[in-house]
Structure 1
């Protein structure tokens, strides 16, 4: 059985200044919003954050950004965050932009213990600067290194007490790769159930990748609301 925390603050209490954290989600879908809020309250600084994007101005990782708690952002999308754009243009934050598929594969490789791989994505662009290239069957490929994190924060629809996780539809997004890529993975689950109640064929993240659990409700804010007349 994995430790089940009752306080989000306790779940993240040992994340230090300068840590590298990987955070699941795509936009605001599938983000571990309560764990992020706990980091905001903790005041941890100089973080390197690996995530697809940096939330929005007033929610998700955007709250850490607003408080100047992020030193470097590694992701694929600036998104709807005006403060992120401002900090990048002002030179107040380091940024490593990665093609989205490459980001996913670098995280997957990190979780699988694969140190690096070759990909055609980014060849001949700014992404390739300073990186090794190699030709295979007449085509040029770029060497990309795996990504790992000191801590991974993910969110799941359900998890059992062993740490097996199930995500809800598109909320799965980057969560499985990020769960595997962390040395310590903390899972925020909407429903904590007893071991054996999950269908083994439906488990998306096996328990071996998860070290801590906490159950709670999310606000599930919408990044951009669109309606049809």
Structure 2
């Protein structure tokens, strides 16, 4: 049975207030822009987001941030998003920061049914000991802090227990997808997309090129269709450059 839906708006129509979203992408690379825009065009608010970062000002998840539609974010870093930093420091947004490898493994674990795992990352730091500010008050004091994590010793080394992430929905962007939901990502756009898709109970993929089952070489499939519930064909998209860096032409050269 085809998993294709006609439009991004139809694909995200049942995402409501308070829904949790695992969102693929890294900066502005491989972000599901069309799906995010469709959510922004709706009314869903108080969203909980799991993503490597929150896009940049005016792009990706930054669109939902600008509209005040996100209530909580679990991410690896704030990045270049000034609005993200402003909302966090002013107490408008709750933020849980996690080591990047830990975040990716929490998403993967959620996708394969592992409830928790142990990692040495963060042992002896506020990540493990607790006390990281999750939410500030408007006066700059800390309202909510991270709790300490469980520590176990294996072969004489300490490890933190990290809980898996399971989200209500996943939003991902792929270069190629077939009507059964098998996906191929373009180079570094692969980043967090497969992991985010796995973590969502309902994974929604926007694809630039839609093909029929069998047209993708099985050996080239990056994410099997078993993890994907909805596919929407969005066509090729304009690529946003997060930070353009150039140098002056050398004298005598064009």
Identify the TM-score tier after normalising by the shorter chain.
over 0.9
Structure 2 gaps, min length 5: 131-147, 249-254
SS at match of 2:41: helix
Partner of 1:78: 78
SS at match of 1:144: strand
Partner of 1:185: 203
Matched-pair contact (CA < 8 Å) for 2:7–2:233 = no
Deviation of residue 218 (structure 1)?
A: 1.9
Q: Deviations over 1:74-104 (max 9, x none)?
A: 1101000001111111011000000000000
Partner of 2:216: 198
Structure 1 residue 220 and structure 2 residue 239: aligned? yes
SS at match of 1:42: coil
Deviation of residue 43 (structure 1)?
A: 2.4
Structure 1 gaps, min length 5: none
1:152-171 map, 5 Å: 152-171=170-189
**TM (normalized to structure 1)?**
0.98
Q: Tell me how far apart the structure 2 counterparts of residues 204 and 38 of structure 1 sit (CA, whole Å).
A: 25
Matched-pair contact (CA < 8 Å) for 1:2–1:211 = no
Q: Tell me how far apart the structure 2 counterparts of residues 46 and 195 of structure 1 sit (CA, whole Å).
A: 37
**TM (normalized to structure 2)?**
0.89
Larger Rg over CA atoms: 2
Deviation of residue 7 (structure 1)?
A: 1.4
Q: Tell me how far apart the structure 1 counterparts of residues 3 and 110 of structure 2 sit (CA, whole Å).
A: 24
Deviation of residue 19 (structure 1)?
A: 0.3
Q: Tell me how far apart the structure 2 counterparts of residues 219 and 40 of structure 1 sit (CA, whole Å).
A: 19
Q: Tell me how far apart the structure 2 counterparts of residues 191 and 77 of structure 1 sit (CA, whole Å).
A: 31
Out of 134, 152, 155, the residue aligned to residue 134 of structure 1 is 152
**For this pair of structures, how many residues does the alignment match?**
229
Which consecutive segments of 4 or more residues in structure 1 shift more than 2 A? none
